[in-house]
Amino acid sequence: MAAASPTPSPLLSLRRAAKSYGGVRALRGVDFDLRAGEVHALLGENGAGKSTLIKIITGAHRPDAGEITVAGRTLDGLTPALAQQLGIACIYQSPALFPDLTVAENIGLRLEPAGAMRRVDWGARHRRAAQLLQQVGASIAPAAEVRTLSMPEQQLVEIACAIGAGARIVVMDEPTASLTQREQERLFTVVRELRAAGVGVIYISHRLEEIFALADRVTVLRDGQSVGTHGLNEVTEAGLIKLMVGREVAQIYPPAESAPGEPVLTLRGVGCAASGVHGVSFEVRAGEIFGVAGLVGAGRTELARILFGLTPADAGEITLNRERLAPRSPPEAVARGIAYVPEDRRRHGVVLEMPIAQNMTMAVHRRLFPGGWLRGAAEQGLARDFIRDLAIKTAGPDAPGGSLSGGNQQKVSLARWLATQPRLLILDEPTQGVDVGAKSEIHRIIRQLAKDGLAVIMISSDLPEVLGMSDRIGVMRGGTLTAVLPGGSPAAAVMAAALGQNERPDPA
Ligand SMILES: Nc1ncnc2c1ncn2[C@@H]1O[C@H](COP(=O)(O)OP(=O)(O)OP(=O)(O)O)[C@@H](O)[C@H]1O
Ligand SMILES: [Mg+2]
């Protein structure tokens, strides 16, 4: 990191960048520099303007004011084509690849010049893809169809495209939100290689550990303004949080206050051939938070989908409050008092055209508004409560879902299921993509719900969260539950179980 030359001229710089959406001022004159060979983190609360800044850099949105200098050219805005031409590449959290084409075809389409008369050299295309995939450390066959790949693998394909295109600036907007530790480490290795090759990486994440492990500098945004750029060796976690939210936030987990009561949910040998889940047995009591840990692909989300009637079980027995449960559809599960907040809420959660209030109440319409006519007032009241409790940054309950930042959309979809007042609440990655302040708020709410007697299943790849929140921790591997550990177990014990290493004696 030693700066050899006195002032290396930045790869990219933004001056006084401003952007409004209608009346919302997303960016209010932000300065930002990216150097060659640095990982520059962008940090800020949900709605602070991070994604907006990225959209300006990738040419997806045009700034209302300000200028951007890339590769010695000063412009008052970019287009996606120009950004690409200037060596700017963006790795999205949900990669934008063609699912029915092979990996090599996708890479070819991105990198080879287009033209109707062009003949494809399949051999060369294949070799190039293989070489790029190797460069990012991916063991992916170039001939594999993209839809057979996991999200993290698709992300690596995107990075391979960026490297192949000779990108000098690589932008990553929350790339690790759905990665496990291992996949995350692989991604970090690739990012470090990019840095070593002189690429400038802009890296958005809400996970501070990650920023400290990876980034050289960090720029903190608050309410559309930059509140400073710092070397990571000159700031602390607490200091960054304070910069970000303007106050201290305790990063401690709320203590368990409830003594778990009667079993609410019981599974005996549950399986579903179609989703690869088999032989799952455990129970969850009223007032208990049952954490589910495991690697991506271990079957955690599949288990949730069985319980919610999305992929019905074809083996074993489930009981809810001592009555047999075999939901064949989500409405059946909802009618039995089950709520499921899915992961990847960015794609499955919020209806972008619909007002926030309706987004929040759509799962409870029949119960809350039997006659229909009271709907407006009751809906607004409920929405205002959730907007306040979850600190959702919005103009109000009538704003469309699509006007919210990513993290605030996630809070809306959480609110929708909390509004159903379920007996069993299944949360899949409940705090993925939300900022530290909102995260501790969501933890407090989950604890409160458990205290009120709800049974909670909390699936999470965030190990500190699983350890800090769970009364007991179920670990899944290879489609089944392989261990149940007491809450407060050491991280190493949970990881070992998730990886299938030798059962260690539990020191707890
Ligand atoms: N298309 C849009 N229409 C209206 N408002 C928008 C739109 N996109 C973003 N905004 C608003 O601009 C502000 C900044 O949003 P942005 O997406 O940049 O936040 P962010 O820092 O990326 O947050 P997150 O951590 O939640 O992803 C927010 O107040 C958001 O509601
Ligand atoms: Mg964002």
Task: Give residue-wise pLDDT tens across range 227-249.
Answer: 999 999 999 988 898 898 876 66
At residue 362, the pLDDT reads 82
Q: Which of 138-142, 150-154, 187-191 has the lowest mean pLDDT?
A: 150-154
- What does the pLDDT read at residue 3? 47
Can you tell me the distance from the alpha carbon of 135 to that of 440, in angstroms, rounded to the nearest whole number?
39
Give, rounded to a whole angstrom, the gap between the first and last alpha carbons of the chain: 42
Torsion (CA) 158, 159, 161, 165 in degrees, nearest 10 = 140
Of all protein residues, the one whose alpha carbon is nearest to atom 10 of ligand 1 is 403
Closest alpha carbon to 231 in 251, 206, 211, 209: 211
Q: What region does 437 belong to: left with phi over 0, alpha with psi -120 to 50, or beta?
A: alpha
User: How far, in Å, CA of 66 to CA of 53, rounded?
Assistant: 12
Q: What is the DSSP letter of 238?
A: H
Is residue 293 pLDDT above 80, yes or no? yes
Lowest mean pLDDT across 13-22, 79-88, 286-295, 342-351 = 342-351
Angle, helices 237-245/436-451, rounded to nearest 10 degrees:
90
Residue 501: partners with Cβ closer than 8 Å, 6 or more residues away: none
**In this prediction, what percent of the chain has a pLDDT beyond 90?**
51
The reported pLDDT for the residue numbered 508 is 45
Q: Please identify every residue whose CB atom is under 5 Å from ligand 2, which is an ion.
A: 51, 406
Alpha-carbon distance 329 to 455, whole Å? 20
Instruction: Report the SS3 class of residue 40.
Output: strand
**pLDDT, tens only, 157-182:** 999 999 998 999 999 988 876 676 77
Amino acid 173: pLDDT? 87
User: Helices 406-418 and 436-451 meet at what angle, rounded to 10?
Assistant: 10
Pocket test for ligand 1, best of 19, 21, 441 (most atoms within 8 A of CB): 21
Tens digits of per-residue pLDDT, 345-366?
A: 555 678 888 999 999 988 776 6
Strand 169-173 versus strand 200-204 pairing type? parallel
User: Which residue is listed with tokens 């069993």?
Assistant: 424
Task: Report the C-alpha gap between 104 and 121 in whole angstroms.
Answer: 11
Question: Has residue 29 got a pLDDT over 90?
Answer: yes
Residue found under tokens 């401690």: 252
Topology given in CATH for the domain delimited by 263-349+422-499: Rossmann fold (3.40.50)
Across the range 43-61, mean pLDDT stands at: 93
- Compute the Cα dihedral for 290, 295, 299, 304 and give only its sign: positive
Q: Classify domain 12-245 by CATH architecture.
A: 3-Layer(aba) Sandwich (3.40)
Is residue 446 within 8 Å of residue 341, measured between CB atoms? no
Q: Which atom of ligand 1 is nearest to the CA of 221?
A: 21
Domain limits, CATH 3.40.50.300, in the chain = 12-245, 263-349+422-499
Q: Exposed, middle or buried by CB within 10 Å (0-12, 13-18, 19+), for 67? A: middle
Distance of alpha carbon 486 from its chain centroid, rounded? 27
Ligand 1 site residues, Cβ closer than 6 angstroms: 21-22, 24, 26, 44, 46-52, 393, 402-408
- This prediction has a pTM of 0.77
